[in-house]
Structure 1
Amino acid sequence: MSNFARPVHIGIDGVFYSLAHVPQLVRFGSKPARELVDRPSLQDELNGSLRSFTDAVAYAAHQTFIGNLTPEALRACKAPWFENSIEGASEKGRFGDLVDQGSFYRLLAQADQFNLVSLDQQWLAGLSRGVSDGQRLQLRTSDQIAALIQKGALPLGSGKRMAGCFEPGHAEDVNLTADILLENLAAKATAAHALSSLMASLQMAPMDVDYVISCSEEAVGDRYNRGGGNLAKAIAEQAGCMNAAGTDVKSFCAGPMYAMVHGASLIQSGLCRNVAVVAGGSLAKLGMKFQSHLEKRMPILEDVLASFAVLLGPPKKNQPCLRLNSASFHRVGAASSPQGMAEGLAEAPLKKLGMKLTDVDRYAVELHNPEITVPSGSGDVPRTNYRTLAALAVMRGQLKKDQMEDFVRDRGMVGYAPTQGHIPSAVSYLGHALDALRAGRIKNSLFISKGSLFLGKMTQLSDGCSFLIENAEESWRSNVEG
């Protein structure tokens, strides 16, 4: 048996996804913030298109993200989803939750160690829902909040009143402005919430986590070290993982996949036993497509901060596993065309395992919600990727041309993840994959993500990573026989 034929498995103990609904932070997204400077009148139009928490909870794509609807059930939902709410929808999911704006502000304040966040004491006293105040919060009067906003603090709105404000961290450092620190602290707070929720769902003690890897999209640092910070360790601290070390892994949208492979490698090496892979929400990506949504008279759908946490560990009997030696990376000299990426991240790794493209039961690709991307002219990203894979299977004689749509339907899925860059990239399907593997509905799933390195103006290259998740029974048998 070759080294690639002999499986190397790492257990996937669980996953948790969260969506923090923050409609009044949409204005601080990169695109809205820039447009509002040029056209302040857009603010009223934007405000009029914001969703309520009830509408966000009842949105079919969100219910799929947190596990209350399967991707198959979502496909059957009447479109547009924003006009056809799910009756009786719950903010609590099979493997995730939705957090309302007030609760998010409290999470933000609890994650703050530098007195950046001030909450209005009257507003907080009237808040009926939310998380426990496990830490002392910085409270101020309404007049004090207003005075701080007048001096440059960012307003944290709640309906028609102020819930609080967010202050800059330094008067002269452009890397510690209020908007950048809000972006970074939002990523920390949402990732820590996802990790804490995952550990609670698994009844796992935080002290048992050995290592935390963050693949969030942020740049923590000061003027002497832009982006050099370690958000993973800050997240671990916030979640109470006092025995854990941690570091960040980044590769634009492909970051989560690399983080999963790195975490699995730490376990396989024997260096760590329990590794958490976490990702916080991207505030900069709120409202990216808001102009096209306003033009189409749609609600602003990019109003949530998405986060997730995955726990990896040694494989257990009857457990879905990541097949570590199936992992494939986009090489420097590899083609970056859609076909080239499919060849390098799907065909090549499957071939070394003795598998064809048609041997994969379900492909997880970039699962961007098409209701967000299509109106802006960005197209249906998942469908495009699935058709590329199907076309490659036709070229290799594994599929007939008239079977392409069957391939897309049966081995793919409708996109449902928020357009938060790292969040849609394959790992958003992991919860559903674990359910399907445990139930025997599929025996494997290939996860594929791509990263646009050229956005940073350092190289024209793209990037990508893939790996196989295998059926639990076959995974255990392979370990025993190997």
Structure 2
Amino acid sequence: MTFPVLKGSSYTLVHTPDVLVHEGKLQESEMRNNPDSDYLKAIPDHLRSFEDVVGYGPNQAYIGNIHPRDLNNIEKPWYDHPMKDASKDGKFGSIMNEDEFYGCMKAVDMFELVVLEKSFQEKVAQEMQDDPVIGKYWVTLDKLNENPATIEEITELISDKDAKPLYFNNELVGCVKRAHEFDAALTSDVMFENLVSKASGAYALAELFAKNDIKPEDIDYLIECSEEGCGDMFQRAGGNYAKSIGEICGCVNATGSDTRSFCAAPAHSMVEAAALVKAGVYKNVVVLAGGSSAKLGMNGKDHVKKDQPLIEDCLGAFAVYVGENDGKSPVIRTDIVGKHKIGSGAAPQAIMQAIVSDPLEHAGLSIKDVDVFSAEMQNPEITVPAGAGDIPAANYKMIAALGIMKKVFEKSELNSVVEKIGMPGFVPTQGHIPSGIPFLGHAKEMIENGDIHRTMIIGKGSLFLGRLTNLFDGISFIVEANDGHVDDDSGVDKDTIRQMIAESMKQFADTLK
């Protein structure tokens, strides 16, 4: 059986401290309900500089400059021990500054909702023209020449028209207007979140093209899997982010759709992409997701209590390219897919059984046959102070314990197995972003270098957050080394099959004479 392959990936971070302060849902709620709170007063002293963000080890792992396991060699806490000679540009992606990102929001806005102050707009327009990714791949940069405003005009839009302010270095530089007078799905608050997700997703897509030498016009299908939902009051969250992002990056031959399943959506989307390519429906599919402004500073109160920086200050985005088997790129095993069934149950052991051991055993494999697992790769410096613990470490211990229960490992091997199959968490808590997908860039490199043969990517989701079900969600898939076999198991290539069909039709026609 020939399988689709993982041809490339990209990972983008956007440092957005002012968006954290003014648009992160925790901070926004605090301003509304407790404007004199000690937490709000403490925020300015706990914000990081762009240099701090670039030097932060987990961020360097996310964009591919170090392997996640290299974090074991950095003294903790990582935020107190920045990496020397760290770069905002990485093998897999980059880290963007907030002012340029506001320009990105303006460039992806098709309805003149983003308004920037004139001199600020001119400055970021030049930055974007000079950006090697945006300047080459984005087709809407002319919007940076449209409808600039004065600060007075922006202030009036905020006070009289309920526009959302844009701040840079705590100074007002623009705003996002509402898209409708009374539609609750098109308020300035919702449009702000939607444009943030679209702009960051579009940059990740352009980085995918730039880092992997891909032509935008070659893409057939786009699947967007972030946690936002665009629509109006008649079809709230009806979509479509995928096509709107493809439009920005010149994907003129692509169509697409959105997939939503909370934190598990990226893993679902990868299975969907692989299935579409395997079935021959589309040859080149991209799975992508933009970031979530709502989750910036989500655990901020706990971080301030521990007197640590507000390290949930970056939007996370990614894009992954799935294509037809080229005989060299790592394959995605469409015959080994784990799923948390409706009847699987919510106990941690039941979830791991359903999405880890069941699909492996069905394929005649065991946990021991997977070199590295990637599941919920949240940075522990974010989650531990908030009381959620080290989530990746907990997952690895459950997988190792499951292997012991299955008699694949000895009980005495627990710690060594965890070390062998795992890695430190290195991903921002952007909901869907830590879903296991951020490891794909490293996995592709490790597989092609011969360091590992097989990895399992796991996505888990909390469906109960939508208040429609108490169910959890989970799905997994396998990526492994390519054996170079690109034809069907029959051993007959496609040209031979076509020739055989033609000869059969000729013979049939001859019998009718």
User: Aligned match of 1:108 in 105, 113, 118?
Assistant: 105
1:332 equivalent in structure 2: 342
**Residue of structure 1 equivalent to 2:413:** 403
Match of 2:504 in 1: none
Q: Aligned pair 1:15/2:22, yes or no?
A: no
2:57 corresponds, among 60, 63, 67, to 60
In structure 2, give the amino acid aligned to 1:63: Q
Kept in 2: contact 1:8–1:324 (CA 8 A): no
Provide the C-alpha distance between the structure 2 equivalents of 1:453 and 1:193, rounded to a whole number of angstroms.
28
Aligned to 1:78: 75
Residue 143 of structure 1: which of 149, 152, 172 is its match? 152
What SS does the corresponding residue of 1:131 show, helix, strand or coil? helix
Q: Secondary structure at the match of 2:128?
A: coil
Task: Please give the per-residue CA displacement for 1:378-424, whole angstroms capped at 9, x wherever unaligned.
Answer: 11100111000111111111111221111111111100100011100
Q: In 2, distance between residues paired with 1:294 and 1:139?
A: 37
Structure 2: distance between partners of 1:406 and 1:344: 24
The verdict on how the C-alpha distance between 1:286 and 1:100 changes in structure 2, with shifts beyond 3 A counting, is same
Would the alpha carbon gap of residues 160 and 450 (structure 1) be closer, same or farther in structure 2, given more than 3 Å must change? closer
The gaps in structure 1 that reach 5 residues or longer are 1-6
Aligned partners of 1:52, 1:228: CA distance in 2, in Å?
37
Mapped pair 1:30 → 2:25: yes
Q: 2:437 aligns with which of 427, 432, 440?
A: 427
SS in structure 2 of the partner of residue 102 of structure 1:
helix
Superposition map of 1:442-453 within 5 A: 442-453=452-463
Q: CA separation of 1:128/1:79 partners in 2, compared to 1, >3 Å: closer, same or farther?
A: farther
Q: Alignment length, in residue pairs?
A: 474
Where does residue 48 of structure 1 map in the other structure?
45
- 431-440 or 154-163: bigger deviation: 154-163
1:468 is aligned to 478
Distance 2:170 2:300 in 1: 21
Find out whether 1:91 has 2:106 as its counterpart: no
2:224 equivalent in structure 1: 214
Matched, 1:436 2:446: yes
- Please report how far the alpha carbon of residue 44 of structure 1 lies from its aligned counterpart in structure 2 after TM superposition: 3.4
Q: Rg: which structure is higher? A: 2
Normalising by structure 2, we get a TM-score of 0.90
Amino acid corresponding to residue 254 of structure 2 in structure 1 = A
Cα shift at 1:86: 0.6
Deviation at 1:243, TM superposition (A): 1.0
Query: Residue 123 of structure 1: CA displacement?
Result: 2.1
Say if 2:262 and 2:432, in contact at 8 Å, map to a contact too: yes
Q: Distance in 1 between matches of 2:432 and 2:255?
A: 22
Structure 2: unaligned runs, 5 residues or longer:
130-134, 136-140, 491-513
The corresponding residue for 1:394 is: 404
Cα shift at 1:127: 4.8
Counterpart pick for 2:188 among 174, 178, 181: 178
Distance 1:479 1:80, change over 3 A: farther
Offset from partner CA, 1:414-469 (integer Å, 9 cap, x none): 00100011100100110010110011110000111111111111111111110100
Matched-pair contact (CA < 8 Å) for 2:331–2:481: yes
Match of 1:163 among 173, 176, 193: 173
Q: Which moved more, 1:42-51 or 1:328-337?
A: 42-51
Query: What secondary structure, in the 3-state scheme, does the structure 2 residue paired with 1:324 have?
Result: strand
1:232 is aligned to 2:229: no
Distance 1:458 1:379 in 2: 27
Rate the CA distance shift 1:82–1:479 in 2: closer, same or farther, 3 A. Answer: farther
Q: Aligned-pair RMSD on alpha carbons? A: 1.5
Q: Which amino acid aligns with 1:274?
A: N
**In 2: Cα distance, 1:130 partner to 1:358 partner:** 49
Q: 1:302 to 1:217 in 2, by over 3 A?
A: same
Residues of 2 paired with 1:154 and 1:44: CA distance? Answer: 21
Aligned to 2:388: 378
Q: Which stretch of the first structure deviates more once superposed, 9-18 or 221-230?
A: 221-230
Structure 2 Cα separation of the partners of residues 43 and 131 of structure 1: 33
CA contact (8 A) 1:360 1:444 kept: yes
Q: Secondary structure at the match of 2:474?
A: strand
Contact 1:103–1:129 (CA<8 Å) still a contact in 2?
no
Cα pair 1:8 1:325 within 8 Å, conserved:
no
Match of 2:500 in 1: none
Distance 2:127 2:11 in 1: 17
Q: Which secondary structure does the structure 2 equivalent of 1:24 belong to? A: helix
Moved more, 196-205 or 22-31: 196-205
CA contact (8 A) 1:102 1:130 kept: no
Structure 1 partner of 2:376: 366
Distance 1:478 1:329 in 2: 27
Aligned equivalents of 1:404 and 1:156: distance in 2?
A: 50
How big is the shift at 1:129? 7.5
CA offset at residue 206 of structure 1? 1.0
Cα-to-partner distance string for 1:121-168 (whole Å, 9 max, x where unaligned): 122344597322722233111221222222222111111422211111
Q: What's 1:263 paired with?
A: 273
Q: 1:44 to 1:115 in 2, by over 3 A?
A: farther
Aligned partners of 2:2 and 2:485 also within 8 Å: no
Q: Name the % identity.
A: 38
Stretch moving more, 72-81 or 61-70? 72-81
**Structure 1 length normalisation: TM-score?**
0.95
